[in-house]
Amino acid sequence: MPRYGFAIDNRVCIGCHACTVACKSEHGVAIGVNRTWVKYIEKGEFPHARRSFSVQRCNHCDDAPCVEICPVTSLFRRPDGIVDFDSQRCIGCTACMQACPYDALYLDPDTLTAAKCNYCTHRVDNGYEPACVVVCPVEAIVSGDLDDPTSAISKLDREQRVQYPKPEKGTKPKLFYVGGETAALDPTQAAPSESYMWSGAKTPYSLPQLEAARDESESIARARRVYDVRSKPGTWGWMVSAYITTKAIATGMVMVPVALFALGLAPQALPTVAALLALLFLGVTGALLVGDLKQPQRFLYILLRPQWKSWLVRGAYLITAFSLMTVVCWVLSISGATWETQAAIGAITALLAAGVATYTAFLFAQAKGRDYWQNPLLVVSMLVDAIVAGLVGCKLAGLMNWSGGLIAVAPEGGGLVETMMLGTLSSTGDPSRICLGVAVVVLAIITLAEFLPKHPTANAALTAKLILRGPFARWFWGGVVFAGLFVPAALLLANVGIPLAAVLLIIGIACKNHVLVQAPQRIPLS
């Protein structure tokens, strides 16, 4: 079986765009989007300036992150190595666009499904070469079997000095450049500016802020982008940011009451008000998830046609199981089941809640195109956010107003931990104040660890600069730090406005989720 790939010979490419036009004609690609396109990079100053052309397209990776993250097998790798897609299965979640480090996928404006170069499979299956290869007047695009030592592409790979795009991503791309320009392969080295083709069009990058965030030392010999296609907007908007917050509230409203019950601080594992709030915010979470799909009528494909490696699928099944167990736990609680039964079912439900709270961190990790989302602290951060949201919800719902006494006692024969907890909380006027105070401290530590340390890659560091000193600085310093940490800490220390402090904690978490989702999408991938 062949293993098809592409080679782009920059030594002979003249930047004529014949490949772009042929691709559009062959596949009926809509205006405003491209499966293959050409980027111009210039370096030097007159009279010693030079221009290079870089043909961009799908790399048909051997370890394609778009295939792994796709929840419904709309994207799949054929036995011959070609990464193809089926638009009839696509639900328009756009996760593949976040996963691709090469910006190769786009949302078709006509079908509202993902699309990309598919190596002209209809031609290859009939013994013809892709349209872009046939039309290139200088044979700058070479296709063929990388495993065939006699093929032209295999000889280029062996005999020439070649460059594979972003090899650090571990995707094993099957596209390489001969005589490629380094600044063309790393988009941050020739960042979008205000003086190139399409620069007047709306872009997702906030160009002045993006350029200001970059250090001058990061540019290579003053490389500059002078021609490119229209930049793609960020595909995950406010609904994705909001759903992370709503599911934190939903899961927290189960984890915290179950924990209080296990410690002997509540008479039921899941009181009615906590169960209803959890189910309400879980319903809002589901509505946001479905509403964000470009093909919402196909949302059941996630459950009926699952691709199990995708954390979108795993998350959907976790949410389904969690919602069912929440109802079971609630019914057992109000029906007066034994402590042991409530504790056992509550523990299972709380574990599912933890999975629902944190699965998005693993989904972000599958989105290899966004370096900032590869932070392992996201799992801890999302779990802490859920617990804090649960504490806030319990406080506002009146489930923590013990006021010097306890509404429940520990089970008979309670151990040392339960006894110490009961004694400590019963000696305070408002134990929720202590819990929320600890929450502020933990949130502050997590925020410092997540946003401020040195980041391992240039793109992650650039994202951090956009957050700390760029267009998201108001959200971070004003929403996350001031409103979400400083003011609640001051109110708790002064022992005034405790409910307001609780609400501000949730607002701070929501602002953090907004920054976390939106800022990484401002970094150009091509």
On the 0-12 / 13-18 / 19+ scale of CB atoms within 10 A, 479 is buried
pLDDT of residue 210: 56
CB atoms within 10 A of CB 490: 13
List Cα–Cα distances, 84 to 94, 293, 471, in angstroms: 16, 21, 37
pLDDT of residue 422: 45
CB neighbour list of residue 58: distance below 8 Å, 6 or more residues apart: 35, 83, 100, 102, 104, 105, 116, 117, 118, 119, 175
The position carrying tokens 């890659």 is 457
Distance CA 158, CA 185 (A): 21
On the 0-12 / 13-18 / 19+ scale of CB atoms within 10 A, 320 is middle
In this prediction the pTM is 0.90
* Token pair listed for 100: 């691709």
Return the amino acid letter for 22.
Answer: A
Residue range 276-334, pLDDT digits in tens: 999 999 999 999 999 999 999 999 999 999 999 999 999 999 999 999 999 999 999 99
CB atoms within 10 A of CB 115: 21
pLDDT of residue 229: 86
pLDDT of residue 450: 84
Strands 175-178 and 4-9: parallel
Distance CA 166, CA 524 (A): 13
On the 0-12 / 13-18 / 19+ scale of CB atoms within 10 A, 227 is middle
Residue range 333-390, pLDDT digits in tens: 999 999 999 999 999 999 999 999 999 999 999 999 999 999 999 999 999 999 999 9
Distance CA 249, CA 245 (A): 6
Q: Residues 131, 137, 138, CA angle at the centre, nearest 5°?
A: 115
Range scoring the smallest mean pLDDT among 36-45, 144-153, 231-240, 447-456: 447-456
The DSSP H or E segment spanning 272 is helix 272-292
Task: Select the more confidently predicted residue: 189 or 391.
Answer: 391
Average pLDDT over every residue of 414-443: 66
Q: From the centroid of its chain, how far is CA 58? A: 20
Asked whether the beta carbons of 189 and 183 are under 8 A apart, the reply is yes
- pLDDT-based confidence at 426, cuts 50/70/90? very low
443: β partners: none
Q: What percent of the chain has pLDDT over 70?
A: 89
Distance CA 274, CA 287 (A): 20
Residue 478 has pLDDT above 70, yes or no: yes
Distance CA 470, CA 156 (A): 43
The backbone torsions φ and ψ at residue 3, rounded to the nearest 5 degrees and listed phi first, read -130, 95
Distance CA 8, CA 59 (A): 11
Average pLDDT over every residue of 118-146: 96
The position carrying tokens 């008979």 is 412
Q: What is the DSSP letter of 110?
A: T
* Torsion sign over Cα 296, 238, 233, 68: negative
pLDDT of residue 406: 36
- pLDDT-based confidence at 204, cuts 50/70/90? low
* Token pair listed for 305: 């046609």
Is the domain spanning 4-185 CATH 2.30.40.10? The answer is no
- pLDDT-based confidence at 401, cuts 50/70/90? low
Domain boundaries of the chain, sorted by first residue: 4-185, 238-522
* Token pair listed for 56: 């961009």
- pLDDT-based confidence at 432, cuts 50/70/90? confident
Distance CA 93, CA 70 (A): 8
pLDDT of residue 205: 56
Strands 75-77 and 83-85: antiparallel
List Cα–Cα distances, 371 to 12, 462, 489, 515, 516, in angstroms: 33, 10, 32, 14, 12
Distance CA 97, CA 109 (A): 14
Show the 3-state SS of 442-470. Answer: HHHHHHHHHHCCCCCCHHHHHHHHHHHCC
CATH superfamily of 238-522: Formate dehydrogenase/DMSO reductase domain (1.20.1630.10)
- pLDDT-based confidence at 217, cuts 50/70/90? very low
| Identical fold, 4-185 and 238-522 | no
Average pLDDT in the chain: 89
pLDDT of residue 409: 38
pLDDT of residue 220: 47
Picking from 267, 273, 257, the residue whose alpha carbon sits closest to that of residue 408 is 267
Residue range 491-503, pLDDT digits in tens: 999 999 999 999 9
pLDDT of residue 202: 55
pLDDT of residue 408: 39
